Amino acid sequence: MRMLAYGTPADAADEYIKIGESTTIQCLQRFCRDIIEVFAERYLRSPTSIDIDRLLRIGEKRGFPGMLGSLYCMHWRWKNCPTAWAGQYTGRSGSPTIILEAVADYDLWIWHAFFGMPGSNNDINVLEASNLFSNPAQARAWQKKHLQDIMISCIIMHNMIIEDERDLDTPIQDALEAPTPNVDMVTDQNIRFQEFLARYKKIRDREAHFALRDALIDHLWDLYSNSVN
């Protein structure tokens, strides 16, 4: 826990635990893997129809209709990145980094996490590689799969803390039932590919972006222009 929370070196535990550095690192890796296997289904799941209905209602109440959460990308420094990989993982920060893409709602519960893209990529590249639309300290490990386990386990424990300390009036499990959406499954691969291209074009449409921005400004102005605050 000290290594995860404070970035404590592995050999710092030798004085009071009496185990070697390699054993400490192995314990950390197994701990993170067990956290993911036991708790990921509950604490890092996709939102259900009930969750979506609740988040949409809260977003509209706060002045952001249609908003489920905030999408953000951060760079996690990879201190022990192999020299042969340093070029593709080094971006504008000047040191090797790995990108984390996450979606969090209004009370910081993380619904989606995508980790592993080289730091030389930008946010658009990460979004294109992510599965979002299709279905702490320096990193000291060598293998990227271990770094991914560390990152995902930290996110799961973060959600545990949010559940424990969140406002009791807004629990994740809401009793309100939302209607089950009727989705027509498309089996034709050509149709699925055309729909993907249409979604991609819609995401990159600058005119649509500015139109939505202006509509949101007008909506907020209509709601709060005459308010005291």
Higher pLDDT, 13 or 171: 13
Separation of alpha carbons 26 and 13, rounded Å: 13
For residues 131-145, average pLDDT: 57
For residues 201-226, average pLDDT: 85
Chain mean pLDDT for the chain: 81
Asked if pLDDT for residue 172 goes beyond 50, the answer is: no
Hey, what long-range contacts does 196-199 have (CB within 8 A, 24 or more apart)? 196/134, 199/133
110 pLDDT band (50/70/90 cuts)? very high
At residue 125's C-alpha, the angle toward residues 51 and 137, to 5°, is: 75
Residue 83, SS3?
helix
137 pLDDT band (50/70/90 cuts)? very low
Number of H-type helices and E-type strands within the chain: 9, 3
Asked if pLDDT for residue 228 goes beyond 90, the answer is: no
Asked if pLDDT for residue 34 goes beyond 60, the answer is: yes
Residue 133, SS3?
coil
Among residues 92, 96, 131, 95, which one has the least CA distance to residue 115? 131
182 pLDDT band (50/70/90 cuts)? low
pTM of the predicted model as reported, rounded to 2 decimal places? 0.64
Asked if pLDDT for residue 35 goes beyond 90, the answer is: yes
pLDDT of residue 46: 86
pLDDT of residue 184: 62
Please name every residue paired with 72 in a beta bridge, in sequence order, or none if there are none: 102
Higher pLDDT, 85 or 142: 85
38 pLDDT band (50/70/90 cuts)? very high
174 pLDDT band (50/70/90 cuts)? very low
